[in-house]
Amino acid sequence: MDIYYDPLFLEHRHIPGHPESPSRLISIVKGLEESPLSFRFLKGSAASAEQLGTVHSHSYIDGIRQWRIRYLDQETPVYPSTYSISAMAAGCAISSTLHSIESGGCVMALIRPPGHHSGKDYGGGFCYFNNAAVAARNCGQSRCAIVDIDVHHGNGTSDIFYGERNVLYISTHQSGIYPGTGEAREIGSGEGEYFNLNLPLPSGSGDSTFDFAFDSVIMPVLRQYSPGVIIVSLGIDAHYLDPLASLTLSTGGYVKCISRLASLGPPLSIVLEGGYNPDALSDVVCGLVAGVCGEPYNTRFDVVHDRKGVGIGWVRSSLDIFSSHWRL
């Protein structure tokens, strides 16, 4: 499996103890390098201001580049190096997506900082530029899907494509936590109505709930939409080991979600978002590489906490809203 990565990402540092730290990628890289899995690291190139400008306003881009903006929120300070590192993250997301289209397979962008909380002219939640959205806008496909599997709703991605139908956005996330958006009734507007699909879930939702969400909504909608490429905004903070929230996906649950998306046929580009337990990050990424490559690998964190479908009722409520447009 080809993975876009750059050591530059390790230079992005917050105050000591900040959850979005270099240890996230250090753990993943170490896990991959110590595994018997088939992969190779590739170097991308930084997104240009013009590529970033397909998503973000020029005033916002320049504010970060020229360090006129010092804080996007209390947890998201801007440093002199933020622009170059964030532009490289967005560029690797573009490279991953273009490479997946060219190869017809699955490619990953192992990047930081994450991006899905960044909108046209704002950032926050550890995010500066919206990597997945920039990739979608620069991949040359007339129809693209972004599937956001993260414990937090990707409010930035949702806002960017809220009135469009050439990018289908589907998000699974824990209800009632940061950023407080992503209710099922938020379905898009105008041309984009019913192309912005949110599956908010209650605390404790895990493997069984995600199985139901994929069976009843995500897979049928993607088949009907038939995108030229699927970009996965992959947040590993829905794992039961993650310290910031309380969804309970296991490593095997993550692998199953990605394997099912890969089985649909369109090229698959995986873009790393959140995830703040280094051990879970390493376990999930190694498990995904093994699953995509069809290689044996013993994942470590496979306790299934949700066997009875804690959030199935919530998924059914969302399904009732979506079914007026999609055949579900």
In order, the DSSP letters of 220-268 are HHHHHH--SEEEEEE-GGGBTT-SS---BB-HHHHHHHHHHHHTTSS-E
- Per-residue confidence at 245, pLDDT binned at 50, 70, 90? very high
The one catalytic residue in 117, 153, 173, 239 is: 117
User: According to the model, what pLDDT value does residue 273 have?
Assistant: 98
What is the extent of the structural domain holding 183?
2-322
| Band (201; pLDDT cuts 50, 70, 90) | very high
Q: How many CB atoms lie within 10 A of CB 316?
A: 12
pLDDT-based confidence at 92, cuts 50/70/90?
very high
3-class secondary-structure state, position 26: helix
**Residue 298 burial (10 A CB sphere; 0-12, 13-18, 19+):** exposed
The CATH code of the domain that includes 262 is 3.40.800.20
Please give the pLDDT value at position 181.
Answer: 98
Tell me whether residue 230 is in a domain.
yes
Which has the closest alpha carbon to 292: 238, 266, 251, 256?
256
Residue with tokens 């996330």: 173
Cβ-Cβ contacts under 8 Å for 182 (sequence gap 6 or more): 153, 154, 155, 158, 171, 173, 175, 198, 200
According to DSSP, the residues that pair with 249 across neighbouring strands are 239
Give the other-Cβ count within 10 Å of 68's Cβ.
Answer: 10
* Exposed / middle / buried, residue 23 (Cβ in 10 Å: 0-12, 13-18, 19+): middle
Q: Is residue 10 part of a domain?
A: yes
- Residue 315 belongs to a domain: yes
pLDDT, residue 269, reads 98
Predicted confidence at residue 302, as pLDDT, reads 98
Give the pair of three-digit tokens for residue 150: 């993260």
Residue 70 lies in a domain: yes
The mean pLDDT of 262-289, rounded to a whole number, is 98
pLDDT-based confidence at residue 67 (cuts at 50, 70, 90): very high
**pLDDT number for residue 93:** 98
In a domain, 207, yes or no: yes
18 is catalytic: no
Tens of pLDDT, residues 135-153: 999 999 999 999 999 999 9
Evaluate whether residue 140 is within a structural domain.
yes
Which pLDDT belongs to residue 299?
A: 97
Band (pLDDT 50/70/90 cuts) for residue 255 is very high
327 inside domain: no
Q: How many domains does the chain have?
A: 1
65 pLDDT band, cuts 50/70/90, is: very high
What gap in Å lies between CA 179 and CA 15, rounded to an integer?
22
What's residue 81's pLDDT?
A: 98
141 in Cβ contact with 163 (< 8 Å): no
Q: What confidence score (pLDDT) does residue 199 get?
A: 98
> How far is it, in rounded angstroms, from Cα 239 to Cα 133?
24
pLDDT tier at 321, thresholds 50, 70, 90: very high
Tokens, residue 323: 């079914």
Q: Is residue 229 part of a domain?
A: yes
In this prediction, residue 176 carries a pLDDT of 97
* Greatest Cα-to-Cα distance within the chain, rounded to the nearest angstrom: 51
DSSP three-state, residue 327: coil
Identify the pLDDT of residue 213: 98
Q: How confident is the model at residue 169 (pLDDT cuts 50, 70, 90)?
A: very high
Mean pLDDT score across all residues of the chain: 98
